[in-house]
Amino acid sequence: MPLSAEAAGPRAALAAALRAAGLPASVYWIEEAHQPAPLPSDFLYLRRAPGEPKRWETGGYERGRWTPYARHAEESEACAHLRHLLLG
């Protein structure tokens, strides 16, 4: 039996909530939970902070550049921030 989104973790739950809200798959990227391929030209993202594997980063990707908006100590904080960026 597959795990529910909540049982699979905050990122999977966020990805499920964004799908349920009807957001196009190309406007967001969530590490290990929603990584559209091919990579869209611009989107908002949530990933582990480069060089800081215990921290999380939210930001925007545009024209081949990852631009961090915020760093988070907790995965759930990063998920809440991305959700706010996408849904208000």
48-74 confidence digits (pLDDT tens)? 999 998 999 999 999 999 999 999 999
Element holding 84 (H helix, E strand): helix 75-87
Please give the pLDDT value at position 53: 87
For the chain, what is the mean pLDDT? 92
Segment 2-11, tens digit of pLDDT: 444 554 699 9
Mean pLDDT of the 25-39 span: 95
pLDDT grade for 35, boundaries at 50, 70 and 90: very high
The domain segmentation of the chain, as residue ranges, is 5-87
Q: Which residues pair with 74 in a beta bridge?
A: none
Please give the pLDDT value at position 3: 44
Q: Which residue has the higher pLDDT, 7 or 14?
A: 14
Closest to 56 measured CA to CA, from 68, 39, 40, 65: 68
Cβ density class 36-63: b for 16+ within 10 Å, e for less: eeeeeeebbbbbebeeeeeebbbbebee
Please check whether residue 52 is in contact with residue 72, taking contact to mean a CB–CB distance below 8 angstroms. no
Pairing state between β 65-72 and 42-49:
unpaired
Note the pTM of the prediction, 2 decimals.
0.89
Pairing state between β 42-49 and 52-62:
antiparallel
